[in-house]
Amino acid sequence: MPETLEISKFKSKISPDWCPGCGDFGVLFSLQKACATLNLDPKDVLVVSGIGCSSNLPGFFGSYGMHTLHGRAVAVAEGAKLGNPDLTVVVTGGDGDGYGIGIGHFIHAMRRNINMTYIVMNNQIYGLTTGQCSPTTELHTVTKSTPEGSIEIPINPIELALVSGATFIARGFSGSQDLLTDLMAKAIQHKGFSLVDVFSPCVTYNKKNTYPWFRERVYNLQEDNHNKSDQDAALKRAREWDTRIATGIFFEVDNPTYEEQEPAYKFGSPAKQKLGLNQEDIQALIKSFK
């Protein structure tokens, strides 16, 4: 297929160093294929991440990228998007980074409806620090930090997004490449804040939520009569777990974005506006940084 040939545009010279079998390989390939399918130009794409195994992704992706601080990826991405709204901005990270220390930024970006895409590789464990309980770890799960089982109720990111203002909410599985690629492409095309929560198994430290475990349970909402414009129906689907787990698009709505309502943009993209400085002022400014 033509788009398959174009995937090379989004491949970095750096090879991924994740554990063999890690679900993040599938996420990386799906994002590359989604961007190729949309015929995006790498120079117009920015991928921002925080800290964690999954947050190494910008280094393996052929576009502009930023590897930022733990939990701060969404905030940095917002700044970049507001400075240059013409950019396609994608945030990539993990459940610990995004749903733990970064959860405040996550919620505020959703309620603002910033036009960007957040892809979270949710493996329900802290992989980089070798297997501690994360914000999405199931109740009673035994980990290095919870030897007698976790006593914390896990965060449900789909529910949280539904009540926080995100206008495109989806869930994928790195073991279902075609669906995941389609979800990412639609999320990037959507005008507004898009969340794609991805079950991305950690084959090294999470021995419960494995590829076979998910394959027995996941199903596609779009093949099961789900109305993606019905928020209440989406909430019910989001609460399914254990025996039946929904993937696909939970919710999609067309609401005004932050950028469309911000008065400052009546002058155009801030990154492309003239500074109002003459050549002498510009040289003096450059000299001050030497």
Q: Tell me how far apart the alpha carbons of residues 214 and 216 are, in angstroms, rounded to a whole number.
A: 5
Instruction: Give the residue from 56, 58, 179 showing the smallest Cα distance to 127.
Output: 56
Domain ranges of the chain: 2-288
Q: Which two tokens stand for residue 222?
A: 């779009």
- Identify the pLDDT of residue 4: 47
Q: Per residue in 150-161, is it b (16+ CB within 10 Å) or e — as a string?
A: beeebbbbbebb
**Partner residues linked to 173 by β-bridges:** 199
DSSP string, the chain: -HHHHHGGGGB-SSPP-SPTT-THHHHHHHHHHHHHHTT--GGGEEEEE-SSSGGGGGGGBSSEEEE--TT-HHHHHHHHHHH-TTSEEEEEEEHHIIIIITHHHHHHHHHHT-S-EEEEEE-SSBTTTTSB--TTPPTT---SS-TT---SPPP-HHHHHHTTT-SEEEEEETT-HHHHHHHHHHHHHSSS-EEEEEE---TTT-SSS-HHHHHTTEEEGGGTT--TT-HHHHHHHHT--TT-EEEEEEEE-----HHHH-GGGGG--GGGS-----HHHHHHHHHHT-
* Angle between the N-to-C axes of helices 24-37 and 177-189, in degrees from 0 to 180, rounded to the nearest 10: 50
- Identify the pLDDT of residue 32: 97
Residues 6+ apart with CB under 8 A from 113: 165, 166, 167, 192, 193, 255, 256, 257, 258
- Identify the pLDDT of residue 83: 95
* Architecture, CATH, for domain 2-288: 3-Layer(aba) Sandwich (3.40)
Q: Tell me how far apart the alpha carbons of residues 104 and 48 are, in angstroms, rounded to a whole number.
A: 17
Residues in the chain: 290
Q: Tell me how far apart the alpha carbons of residues 129 and 198 are, in angstroms, rounded to a whole number.
A: 20
- Identify the pLDDT of residue 6: 82
Q: Is the dihedral of CA 177, 166, 239, 201 positive or negative?
A: positive
* Per-residue model confidence as pLDDT tens for the chain (290 residues): 444 458 999 999 999 999 999 999 999 999 999 999 999 999 999 999 999 999 999 999 999 999 999 999 999 999 999 999 999 999 999 999 999 999 999 999 999 999 999 999 999 999 999 999 999 999 999 999 999 999 999 999 999 999 999 999 999 999 999 999 999 999 999 999 999 999 999 999 999 999 999 999 999 999 999 999 999 999 999 999 999 999 999 999 999 999 999 998 888 888 888 878 889 988 998 999 98
- Identify the pLDDT of residue 249: 98
